[in-house]
């Protein structure tokens, strides 16, 4: 392989590597934004869950509360 061919090959490999790193970084940056948990909403849910658990007229199990919460979320969609 001549020096010119080797130089062209190295330049092309550099371009491919640079493009791969750029695309990978962009994908990871996008993924991080979508994977974050809605902490404020989860705190609100936990607060409501605890208040119902402690103050509801009848005793309610955690499983029953969670099951009805999930059903309510699905109905709301």
**Structure-model confidence comparison of residues 41 and 21, the more confident one:** 41
Q: Is the predicted pLDDT of residue 64 greater than 80, yes or no?
A: yes
pTM, full prediction = 0.51
**Structure-model confidence comparison of residues 65 and 19, the more confident one:** 65
Q: What is the pLDDT of residues 14-35, one digit of tens each?
A: 787 777 878 877 777 666 566 6
Model pLDDT, residue 48 = 92
Return mean pLDDT, the chain: 83
User: H or E segment at 76?
Assistant: helix 62-76
> Where do the structural domains in the chain lie, given as residue ranges?
1-36, 37-77
What is the crossing angle of helices 62-76 and 39-55, to 10°?
130
- Contact call for residues 25 and 17 (beta carbons, < 8 A): no
pLDDT band at 44 (very low <50, low <70, confident <90, very high): very high
């Amino acid at each position: 392989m001549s020096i010119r061919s080797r130089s062209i090959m190295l330049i092309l490999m550099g371009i491919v590597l640079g493009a791969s790193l750029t695309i990978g970084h962009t994908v990871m940056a996008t993924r991080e934004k979508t994977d974050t948990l809605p902490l404020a909403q989860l705190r609100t849910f936990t607060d409501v869950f605890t208040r119902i658990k402690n103050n509801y007229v009848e005793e309610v199990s955690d499983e029953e509360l969670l099951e009805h919460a999930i059903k309510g979320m699905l109905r709301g969609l």
